[in-house]
Amino acid sequence: MSNIPGELKYSKSHEWVRINDDGSVTIGITEHAQDLMGDMVYVELPESGASLNQGDDCAVVESVKAASDVYAPIGGEVLEVNDALADAPETINSDPYGEGWIFRMNPSDGAEVDALMDANAYEELVASED
Amino acid sequence: MAKQTPLYEKHIESNAKMVDFGGWDMPLHYGSQLEEHKQVRTDAGMFDVSHMTVVDIKGANVRDFLSRLVANDVGKLKIKGKALYTCMLNESGGVIDDLIIYYLDDDWFRLVVNAATREKDLAWLQSQAEAMDDVTVTERGDLAMIAVQGPNAREKVYAAMGEDIREATRELKPFHAVLIGELMIASTGYTGEDGFEIIIPAKAAPFTWQMLLEAGVAPIGLGARDTLRLEAGMNLYGSDMDETTTPLESGLAWTVAWEPADRDFIGRAALEKQKGNVPRKLVGLVLQGKGVLRAHQKVICEQGEGEITSGSFSPTLGQSIALARVPAGTGDMVDVDIRGKAVPAKVVKYPFVRNGKSCL
């Protein structure tokens, strides 16, 4: 069973969301998602300062096998992107919830954050897809 | 329900991620596709290729039959054991499949065709054989096939399978095979590395696989098989060519034998017609900008549009490479449409990698 940290929120499209102390959120893809994709070889990051709506395709992760869109789990403004991934995309495989984060944003609507899945709900989603 | 090869249990034991491939339950990888790719380029790896279709063609007229059936000339096979890579064409010159033909005896040739094309190939072979006296077509479902590839492949095969195999293959030149009892060992492969393809009775396959594992040959999945063959510049049927493309448009003109001029192989008339004026060609691409080349991306060239037929990240080169079908006369640089952005790519001769080294 893949690792699903209890303190994070999750989207149906397999992004995780960490709510930071300053109210910003950090976003990445889940261990389950990186496992399905395999070895990462390229990441296309969002633009810092970009304004996103919930569900926008805002980044691309590419493994040896395939390219996959990353969707904004919530709307808001992109504050920072993880530039280190450009040279080390495999960090998403080795540390998906830590150093493998993709971008940080300022949510525009707290209700969207509240509506994300908790770890239990996400675990059920993963189980239902297997 | 997908079919399983005789090595299915061995894959499960090695924690393979299994996927459906042409109706077969096959290993995609055993953990990391990149590690497996590197293993083959630097040491030795093995592939279960038992899903591929082995067909024995026997009879007094087998040479005449094959001479008409395929675009390359079996007349080149003069020494027993020699192998020939060729395409089997339809009347319009389209590729029904690509295959290897092994000359095993005067009345016995062995064909290895693709897994995904099994049914149409067997039907085509049977229908062509009906028109010919004394030719039989027999699928060898009782056999398994293991490819062991990499710079250390030969030594590890000897360690696993015994010194008599070393003796029997001592004189084996590239692209030849030798029969040792029920075994066939061929110096062929799909990776651009040294090694063997071993055809073995299905019942004996799991034991041999285990011996190879214990000799330090790592199992390699279909994922790495695809990146290895792409680096080696080897076509994949269904991606780089199919029934709508001729060998001349698929980088396979070298497999078409025009001489002798009176050899009337199926598709010859269509190829003769296209010969002086082939509209499209298959080229290698190396991406110059960021991203990864993928099959079906649009290629934009001065002469018009083309399409990527196979594309991936190249683990050996650390950049993205592809095969693409482009208009004849395409120059040294093209653009590739990657998610709406035009990214430049250099047109190169392939292979990209041979014997572990970059050819760029």
Cα–Cα distance for residue pair B309/A42, rounded to 1 Å: 20
Specify the pLDDT at position B274.
Answer: 97
Q: Phi and psi for B31 in degrees, rounded to 5?
A: 145, -65
Between A44 and A2, residue with greater pLDDT: A44
The reply to whether residue A39 touches residue B34, judged by beta carbons under 8 angstroms, is: yes
Q: What residues does B281 pair with on adjacent strands?
A: B326
At which residue do the structure tokens 């050819």 appear? B359
The reply to whether residue A65 touches residue B223, judged by beta carbons under 8 angstroms, is: yes
Which amino acid, one-letter code, is at B244?
A: T
- Residue B220 · residue B45 · CB < 8 Å: yes
According to DSSP, residue B70 is labeled B
Write the ipTM: 0.85
Nearest to A41 among B29, B223, B292 (CB): B292
- For residue A1, pLDDT over 80 is answered with no
pTM of the model: 0.94
The reply to whether residue B223 touches residue A60, judged by beta carbons under 8 angstroms, is: no
**DSSP assignment of A62-119, as one string?**
EESS-EEEEE-SS-EEEEEE-THHHH-TTHHHH-TTTTT--EEEEES-HHHHHTSB-H
> How do residues A87-115 score in pLDDT, each as one tens digit?
999 999 999 999 999 999 999 999 999 99
Q: What is the mean pLDDT of residues B115-135?
A: 95
Cα–Cα distance for residue pair B129/B111, rounded to 1 Å: 14
Q: Average pLDDT over chain B, rounded to whole?
A: 97
Q: What is the mean pLDDT of residues B101-105?
A: 98
Q: What is the mean pLDDT of residues B202-222?
A: 98
Chain B: give the shortest CA distance to residue A105, in Å: 24
Model confidence band, residue B1 (pLDDT cutoffs 50, 70, 90): confident
Model confidence band, residue B352 (pLDDT cutoffs 50, 70, 90): very high
Q: What residues does B267 pair with on adjacent strands?
A: none
Chain A: give the shortest CA distance to residue B36, in Å: 11
Which amino acid, one-letter code, is at B324?
A: A
The reply to whether residue B292 touches residue A42, judged by beta carbons under 8 angstroms, is: yes
> How do residues B272-288 score in pLDDT, each as one tens digit?
999 999 999 999 999 99
Q: What residues does B345 pair with on adjacent strands?
A: B287, B334
Q: What residues does B139 pair with on adjacent strands?
A: B55
**Residue A44 forms contact with B (CB below 8 Å):** yes
- Residue B326 · residue B280 · CB < 8 Å: yes
Cα–Cα distance for residue pair A38/B37, rounded to 1 Å: 13
The reply to whether residue A67 touches residue B34, judged by beta carbons under 8 angstroms, is: no
For A28, the enclosing helix (H) or strand (E) is strand A25-29
Q: Which chain B residue has its CA at the smallest distance from A40's CA?
A: B34
Nearest to A67 among B33, B223, B292 (CB): B292
Specify the pLDDT at position B289.
Answer: 86
Q: Which chain A residue has its CA at the smallest distance from B30's CA?
A: A38
According to DSSP, residue B82 is labeled B
- For residue B231, pLDDT over 90 is answered with yes
Q: What is the mean pLDDT of residues B12-28?
A: 96
> How do residues B244-272 score in pLDDT, each as one tens digit?
999 999 999 999 999 999 999 999 999 99
Q: Average pLDDT over chain A, rounded to whole?
A: 95
Chain B: give the shortest CA distance to residue A57, in Å: 12
The reply to whether residue B32 touches residue A42, judged by beta carbons under 8 angstroms, is: no
Model confidence band, residue B325 (pLDDT cutoffs 50, 70, 90): very high
- For residue A129, pLDDT over 90 is answered with no
Window A:66-125, CB contacts with B under 8 Å? 66-67
